[in-house]
Chain A
């Protein structure tokens, strides 16, 4: 794992949390949508907060795809779950919502999970011989872990 790769994982985490928050903030301004007023659904993306949220979620998707190109799914998913913690902290310190003790416990558990998974290897190395018979030949990557 290089600094650049940790930055990509941080990007996944931050883009997702910020994108979701901005989307939620914008949608609260737009008001509730209904299927009978489809034009409103389309107009919703012209709300600046919603537009910025969508932009950040595109950034999330790009960094998520980048991370999955060199790390296992079972590494990327827990490693980037700090986004939930970030959301709770945004709720506490920016939106001044009440964070209960069970939520702090949740933050603790997620952080522990992130700590566990990031201590291990990021990518499973499949020996080419054992995978050659199976249906995912291209995953039998011989790339070395940088």
Chain B
């Protein structure tokens, strides 16, 4: 039963942090290159437009859910399982989500990078 709780927490962490990453990425792509924007209209105006962007706010909300699920997950399972499993699954889930929701061109090189990093993170924590 504890096992089920731990893996449910990991699933929620992966889903929430992937949703958060996708939403934040979408917000920043819609806002545009912040370096250029800052030169044109100043830092405060850039920060203001980021903080008012609905996708940014939703993304932060999703990240908050992911953070608290991590806290719950850590209280149910071992840190050596929960942290690396959720981090490495998030790399792969983000690549899939970025392809379908952000229409990024995820070529062989990027798939390979996502899988290598995911495997590497697992090994680091092993």
Interface string of A50-82 (1 = CB under 8 A from B): 000000000000001110111011111110010
A75 to B116, CA, bound (A): 14
Contact A73 B123 (CB under 8 A): no
Q: Determine if A134 is an interface residue (Cβ-Cβ < 8 Å).
A: yes
A interface, over-half SS = helix
Q: In chain A between 4 and 46, which residues have their CB closer than 8 angstroms to a CB of chain B?
A: 4
Distance in angstroms from B78 CB to nearest chain A CB is 16
B interface, over-half SS = helix
Contact B98 A74 (CB under 8 A): yes
Number of interface residues of B (CB under 8 A): 41
* Among A76, A106, A136: residue with most chain B CB under 10 A: A106
Distance in angstroms from B126 CB to nearest chain A CB is 5
Interface string of B15-48 (1 = CB under 8 A from A): 0000001101110111111110000000000000
Distance in angstroms from B125 CB to nearest chain A CB is 8
Residue B104 contacts which of A4, A73, A88 (CB distance < 8 angstroms)?
A: A73
Contact A68 B112 (CB under 8 A): no
Identity of the chain A residue whose Cβ is nearest the Cβ of B56 in the assembled complex: A65
Contact A113 B113 (CB under 8 A): yes
Contact A68 B113 (CB under 8 A): no
Distance in angstroms from A138 CB to nearest chain B CB is 4
A134 to B101, CA, bound (A): 10
Contact A84 B121 (CB under 8 A): yes
Q: Determine if A96 is an interface residue (Cβ-Cβ < 8 Å).
A: no
- Report B's interface with A, CB cutoff 8 A: 21-22, 24-26, 28-35, 50, 91, 94-95, 98-99, 102-107, 109-110, 112-117, 119-126
**Complex A-B: 19 CB contacts under 8 Å:** A4-B35, A65-B28, A72-B105, A74-B104, A74-B110, A81-B91, A81-B117, A88-B124, A100-B126, A102-B123, A110-B116, A110-B120, A112-B120, A113-B114, A116-B109, A136-B26, A139-B26, A139-B29, A139-B102
